[in-house]
Structure 1
Amino acid sequence: PGVPREFTANDAVLSAVSDEIARKLADEFVKYMDTGVESASLRQITTQLANSHSKRDLFIKEIHELGAVDQFFVCTTCRAAINVIARTFRDEDGELNGPHNKGYVKSFVLGFCEKLNIQTEEVCGELFESHWPYVEYIIMNTVIDSREFCGMFMQFSFCNVGTHPDYEWTLDVDNSIPAATAPKTDIPAKGSNDLKILHLTDIHHDPLYEPGALAECDEPMCCQRHKDVAQGTSKAAGFWGDYRDCDLPWQTVDNAFTHIKETHKIDYIYQTGDVIDHMVWATSDEKNKEVYEKVTNKLYEVFPGIPVYPTIGNHEPHPLNMFAPDYVPEHVSSKEFYEHLYEIWSKYLPADTKSTILKGGYYTTLVKPGFRIVALNDNDCYTDNWWLFFNGTDMKTQLMWLHDVLLTAEKANENVHILAHIPSGDGTCWNVWSREYNRLIARFRNTISGIFNGHTHKDEMLVHYSNGHAIGISWNGGALTTFSYKNPNYRIYQVEQSSYQVVDHETWIFNLTEANLAGESVKPNWVKEYTFSEEFTNDLSPGSIDAYLDVMASNPDLVRKWWRFKMTSADPTLAKGCDKGCLLHHMCRIPTSVNNQRERCEELTKKLSDAIDNESGSSSSPTDPTQPGPSDPTGPTTESTTPDDDGDGAVSITALSFTTMIAVYVAANNVL
């Protein structure tokens, strides 16, 4: 059969169709490699697949946020790639075996990249070169089964066919206190002595950003070159940044830090990762180090004496997303990366954090008596981290360390803030890891007083549950970068000092359209976009927020307001609006802290769906009235973001380049 036009069939049927296309594609491609002759059948299959997918969406969305057609494309090509490479790489007589295997694999990969219209040759080729040493090592040493790989990597149901025993584990969790029997509702009142904590995340500084450069290009990230082509057109990048697929220029980073210093009295700074830009096909150790040091040193310079507590984003290493266990050979190790981070972080972190930072990029520190911070490297759960497919049991180590730290903190009557990059409910966070992490949050609900994330580039939150009871909140700081279709933003938390719970927070933005129209001589006009207690509920306890979700689900205008703030009131996003499906999606995100546990999501979206249907004339009213800045006369007229795009724009490797995806799929131990 060909690529389906509709996706109404059940998962078993879709999986079977995908399997059949993948097998046929693999068979024909192996023949093509042997003979150099492209058959009519191969031409037909590759043409259908190449024409079926959304080329840009594959690069700016996470896997779980792709539409049905794109998900089918990714799953099918994954299965085909494993089939081809498993036959030709591991086999002693295989075409991709032997001392020249890199050249063979690269040729194969670039051929797929071209035939399936994945990306430009430059992007595919550079990604292959940077990932090959790691991919080759994982290929030859992994324990995972080929069929299981695609299903775990793409956690949507029709592609999921089973789990290797090493990838289905549970933690041994202390059970000395009973499970939750009620929501967590205890929260103190605000006070004059409350802490003010700045949350900066996803800065994504682009050192090559050039005002006036082409903002609509063929690559996954733009605004760096072709100024001669863009000059005088609507495709030219703005001075302070651009809503399109571009990261942040230095002048905006500098302005943001200075504005924050002049506006707020800050006690602590949480920096939850992703300082490096999205030009992922052209990173290097040297470039990443230079950018990370420049941004971090500026932060230290502008806020002298204010403690900074950082975590690692998936973009920090070269190549991105790669976080190796501590026992692999040096040429594929993350050792040098962690050493560099500790060298920078040690300005504010005590010496006793060194051992775990060097082991895996995580640490804990006692800020003051009664208040502890735990900073996780939760890229362990990221399904774009190829080392996840090397050995699944490795990912237990950090979680067991977290368990032990929390148990010790509980006995010492400490309150703990957990900092991490990726929210546990994100579709690219491995469900097993996320499930076990949430078990820890449930067990230590009385010790954990706050959780802080980034990664999604959205101003949002997640509610954590245990036995149906709300027991925790993960707060997401949005992003300083504009990638993609966002205004720059940061958050300020008000934290009470007896329980260290968040009692309120406010988000600050500037309107990018307005700033670029004013030009480089006028500084951006930063404004407080909203205060949570004024716009939603003044009780920020997990139980109260969970109860407020029912209020939101009964009143679509509240969800529209939530969506507007979540998208940082960005002009092109507001202009596109948020229809019923979009509103349901964003409602579902809030109560989902494990991606495949959606009972509360289903309950709330059913209620919201009924409320939208009952609205008078709701279909013509996609957003509530807003007061955005002036409309952008030179803004994008095509390829604007979809309202429900919930990736970090992280350009996942699979989506990012089928090149490297194909290469790692060699991880197959069995032919599909």
Structure 2
Amino acid sequence: MKLLIFCSFLVLSYSALNPLQGLVECTSCHLTIEALRAYAKESEHWNTLAEIFVDLCVESGQQKYVCQGLVNEFRPVVTDVLMDKILDPEFLCMDMEYCTSPHYVEENFTLYATEIMKGKPAGPGPNPTGETTIKFAHIADAHIDLYYTPGTSDECDEPQCCRSGTGNAGYWGGMKCDLPLRTLEAALDQVAAMNLDFIIVTGDVPPHDVWNQSRSYNLLNIQTEAEIFQKHIPNTPIYKIFGNHAPFPINEYDYINDPYLPKAFCEYWNLDSITRIDLEKHAGYTIKHGDNLRLIVLDTNTMHSGNLYLSLNSTNPQGQLTWLYEQLLAAEKSNEVVYIFGHVPPGDDFSLSNWARHYAVLMDRFEFTIAGTFYAHTHNDEFHIDRGVFSGKPTQVQWTAPSLTTYSYKNPSIRVFEADAKTKTLLDYTQYRLNLAEANRNSSQTPVWEANYSFKNLYGVSDLSPQSIYVLALEIGNNENLALQYLSNFNTGINVPTRCDSKCMHILTCTITYGILDDELNCQGVDKNWLYKFNEMLFGKWVYKVK
């Protein structure tokens, strides 16, 4: 390897002294950088860095074997991605003027937004009558645990418990644990009995033992969940997507060189080849339900800041948002109504703001075509509001459902929406919740998810429109009792706070009334921390490569 680098430098030096040898000069620069990159990836210095990260992890309170497992899993990804980003032959050789291309052009967002917004209809279509309705469930974040064992420790010194030791892990679940299969099956039996029109399932599936996983292990969990769903709910359409726990290691998914998830996912769920190809090419797929409802399903690993592969090119990964625009435009022309769902909400702390801002433009442009957007990931009962790109007015609500898993300190939850049958306008939803403590006290009885609240009745809103939810969010910022009610639901009735002062209410209002992390932080007036600034540097602005 050292000999290869030396020879590459000799060729590069010779070509630099011969200006007529432009092609040789450019090629030799590429060879030199590529050789240097390969050498850097094999450097023994990574062993020292790995040891440092293990020590820092242990100092933070984790067990050494947990830290070692995490470092071993992430080291290959970190090494490859960082070296590919820092030692990029195309960029460096052009920047050092050994090559004349490619050129990099920063996107003009205002121009993008202006072009997208052209042709937006003047107003909404028919008002919902509510005379006939449809109902559908949203099931989020099951995070099943194949090794859950009742009677083990539910308060252990690992990130996830209820597998070993002696303690109070209940028959139906534990608070610092993931979900037993029996609890998932009980939940699905109850959902099956509701005679719903359809169900959306937004990931995640693998448990939180992220220090001790493998690709095959994660896929086994996804396969197991798919089989259980199809066994217990055989007659209701189920629309689904995977989340950020599906890849191995967690979050890390290489769309360019190793797009393995769609094939396995579609096989487990018996989805057709068109769906698989769309997931591979566009990180999304679309399916029609009934006469006029189109569901657009997004793989949100394209916008999760935990996915280091995106740092190599975070500009519209897989052309996903271009594809989304095309699907929405086709739906608009066909007079279809659209529901969009995915795993990570665009307003989440780990969502890339550049992606979310471009997404928000589409939510504005197709405000009257999209009747609902549904997300998960946080395990919390919450919502964010998308705002008009130029007007700032509410355009959509990011309805974020609480998790079915108990991890961490949650009561298992299921959400059921009711919508107008013709317009598909959301009329209300009922939040079902399992009182886990009570279920474990009566472990011989099948647990029941009780209807905990109706959104309209609890919050006193006239409808679920973005405008009404925006007014509600402002009220939450001025009414402590209402803020506490929201926080109680946010936490699924566990560890409920008893105070929410003016600062607390202001943070809630900012978090709810904006659907982009940058805007939420600006509203709160908080200083961006080192991690946020690191992400800004790592992922950067949207830039297009021009040959």
Of residues 291, 294, 315, the one that matches 1:393 is: 315
Does residue 196 (structure 1) correspond to residue 135 (structure 2)? The answer is: yes
- Deviation per CA, 1:148-194, whole angstroms, max 9, x where unpaired? xxxxxxxxxxxxxxxxx7886645643332598x9x79751323x31
Equivalent residue runs for 1:276-287 within 5 Å: 276-287=206-217
Distance 1:368 1:255 in 2: 28
Q: Which runs of 5+ in 1 are unaligned?
A: 1-89, 146-164, 231-235, 604-653, 656-660, 668-672
Of residues 305, 315, 329, the one that matches 2:245 is: 315
What's the counterpart of residue 181 of structure 2?
250
Counterpart AA for 1:484:
S
Tell me by how many angstroms 1:312 deviates: 1.8
Q: Secondary structure at the match of 1:198?
A: strand
Any conservation in 1 of the 2:222–2:265 contact (CA below 8 Å)? no
Counterpart AA for 2:144:
H
What's the counterpart of residue 68 of structure 2?
125
What's the counterpart of residue 144 of structure 2?
205
Any conservation in 1 of the 2:476–2:508 contact (CA below 8 Å)? no
Does residue 359 (structure 1) correspond to residue 281 (structure 2)? The answer is: yes
Q: Name the Cα RMSD after superposition.
A: 3.3
Does residue 439 (structure 1) correspond to residue 361 (structure 2)? The answer is: yes
Percentage of matched positions with identical amino acids: 29
Of residues 445, 453, 457, the one that matches 1:530 is: 453
Of residues 47, 50, 63, the one that matches 1:106 is: 50
Counterpart AA for 2:436:
L
Of residues 165, 169, 181, the one that matches 1:226 is: 165
Q: Which runs of 5+ in 2 are unaligned?
A: 1-33, 89-103, 526-530, 541-547
Of residues 125, 130, 135, the one that matches 2:78 is: 135
- Aligned in 2, Cα 1:104/1:508: closer, same or farther, shift over 3 Å? same
Q: Which has the higher contact order (CA 8 A, sep 6+)?
A: 1
Any conservation in 2 of the 1:504–1:538 contact (CA below 8 Å)? no
Does residue 292 (structure 1) correspond to residue 222 (structure 2)? The answer is: yes
Counterpart AA for 1:413:
N
Any conservation in 2 of the 1:144–1:389 contact (CA below 8 Å)? no
After superposing the two structures, state which structure 1 stretch, 105-114 or 413-422, moved more.
105-114
The aligned length equals: 479
Counterpart AA for 1:199:
H
Any conservation in 2 of the 1:325–1:360 contact (CA below 8 Å)? no
What's the counterpart of residue 72 of structure 1?
none
What's the counterpart of residue 579 of structure 1?
500
Distance 1:142 1:300 in 2: 42
Q: TM-score, normalised by structure 1?
A: 0.66
Distance 2:254 2:198 in 1: 30
Q: TM-score, normalised by structure 2?
A: 0.80
Counterpart AA for 1:239:
Y
Counterpart AA for 2:53:
V
Distance 2:493 2:316 in 1: 41
Distance 2:214 2:41 in 1: 28
- Aligned in 2, Cα 1:362/1:118: closer, same or farther, shift over 3 Å? farther
After superposing the two structures, state which structure 1 stretch, 204-213 or 127-136, moved more.
127-136
Counterpart AA for 1:495:
A
Distance 1:303 1:167 in 2: 48
- Deviation per CA, 1:105-164, whole angstroms, max 9, x where unpaired? 4334334434x436322122112222233222212211599xxxxxxxxxxxxxxxxxxx
- Aligned in 2, Cα 1:517/1:103: closer, same or farther, shift over 3 Å? same
Q: Secondary structure at the match of 1:409?
A: helix
Tell me by how many angstroms 1:599 deviates: 9.6
What's the counterpart of residue 372 of structure 1?
294
- Deviation per CA, 1:237-285, whole angstroms, max 9, x where unpaired? 2221122x211111211111112223x1211110011011111111112
Does residue 408 (structure 1) correspond to residue 330 (structure 2)? The answer is: yes
Of residues 169, 173, 178, the one that matches 1:241 is: 173
- Deviation per CA, 1:501-539, whole angstroms, max 9, x where unpaired? 211100001211111222x21222321000112112131
Counterpart AA for 2:365:
R
Of residues 469, 483, 486, the one that matches 2:393 is: 469
Q: Secondary structure at the match of 2:289?
A: strand
- Deviation per CA, 1:422-447, whole angstroms, max 9, x where unpaired? 11111210111111110110111111
Distance 2:53 2:436 in 1: 39
Counterpart AA for 1:524:
P
What's the counterpart of residue 488 of structure 2?
564
Equivalent residue runs for 1:90-105 within 5 Å: 98=42, 100=44, 103-105=47-49
Any conservation in 1 of the 2:478–2:505 contact (CA below 8 Å)? no
What's the counterpart of residue 91 of structure 2?
none
Q: Secondary structure at the match of 2:432?
A: strand
Any conservation in 2 of the 1:144–1:390 contact (CA below 8 Å)? no
Counterpart AA for 2:172:
W
What's the counterpart of residue 612 of structure 1?
none
Of residues 370, 373, 377, the one that matches 1:455 is: 377
Any conservation in 1 of the 2:139–2:404 contact (CA below 8 Å)? yes
- Deviation per CA, 1:372-404, whole angstroms, max 9, x where unpaired? 111011121111111121212252711111111
Any conservation in 1 of the 2:283–2:302 contact (CA below 8 Å)? no
What's the counterpart of residue 429 of structure 1?
351
Q: Secondary structure at the match of 2:349?
A: coil
Equivalent residue runs for 1:331-342 within 5 Å: 333=258, 335-342=259-266
Tell me by how many angstroms 1:218 deviates: 2.1
Tell me by how many angstroms 1:217 deviates: 2.0
Q: Secondary structure at the match of 1:428?
A: coil
Any conservation in 2 of the 1:142–1:391 contact (CA below 8 Å)? no
What's the counterpart of residue 156 of structure 1?
none
Distance 1:600 1:497 in 2: 39
- Aligned in 2, Cα 1:169/1:286: closer, same or farther, shift over 3 Å? farther
- Deviation per CA, 1:558-608, whole angstroms, max 9, x where unpaired? 2221221222212xx12x5343244443333221201122499669xxxxx
Tell me by how many angstroms 1:543 deviates: 1.5
Distance 2:342 2:87 in 1: 27
- Aligned in 2, Cα 1:109/1:569: closer, same or farther, shift over 3 Å? closer
Tell me by how many angstroms 1:223 deviates: 1.5
Does residue 324 (structure 1) correspond to residue 254 (structure 2)? The answer is: yes
Equivalent residue runs for 1:163-174 within 5 Å: 170=109, 171=112, 173-174=115-116
Any conservation in 1 of the 2:189–2:233 contact (CA below 8 Å)? no
Of residues 304, 316, 324, the one that matches 1:382 is: 304
Equivalent residue runs for 1:491-530 within 5 Å: 491-518=415-442, 520-530=443-453
Distance 2:53 2:357 in 1: 35
- Aligned in 2, Cα 1:237/1:96: closer, same or farther, shift over 3 Å? farther
Distance 1:353 1:516 in 2: 40
Of residues 197, 208, 211, the one that matches 1:267 is: 197
